[in-house]
Amino acid sequence: MTNTERDPERDAAPVPPADAEPDAGHARSRDWGWTRLETPVGPLLLATTREGLAEVVFHADSPTTRRALSRLEQFFGSAPRPEIPHLETAAAELTAYFAGGLRVFAVPLDWSLTSGFNARVLRALADGVPYGSVVGYQDLADRVGEPGSARAVGAAMGSNPLPVVVPCHRVVASDGGIGGFNGGLETKRQLLALEGVLPSPLF
């Protein structure tokens, strides 16, 4: 592992929705909704807008959920609403993924919680690193035309608002290590094992 690749996600915090800027053309106040989904890697909080899935939050216990909802209310400028499109689709697709029955997500994505370099890297990841494959931080930097930015790629992975669906767990270190992960290294191992990249845990 090179110095530029050493745990590049370790110090990266998830992008705070309250500090992000919406995509151009979106009004500040937007309709959104949320649900919590039980999965083999723990509860996930899913937040969607009328455009698509906007955020996936790992380890969504009650305190984490309260903090996430507070940030989302501030970012979207409104309280959550019932019957927002895409929530059922996102929950159904993630359930199928964790059951081993889905390899490509079709739920629309709302990219408004990321921007700039991070958004470019995450879009390249979503479009170019399929189920069951991995990519190095440096390789991903090369793909977006920024060969000196392996560490910045790690920070982009750490700020990913759409983990699992935008598969930052598939970004690994060049020496064969699995690298960092904001959902925790055990969660990353579970996701890679599910996709056949790592052996399944013995227990």
So which residues are the catalytic ones?
A: 168
- Report the relative pairing of strands 44-49 and 171-172 from DSSP bridges: unpaired
Three-state DSSP class for residue 118: helix
Instruction: Encode 48-67: b = buried (16+ Cβ within 10 Å), e = exposed.
Output: bbebbbbbbbbbbeeeebee
What distance in Å separates the CA atoms of residue 60 and residue 45, rounded to the nearest whole number?
6
Angle between helices 150-158 and 116-128 (to 10 degrees): 90
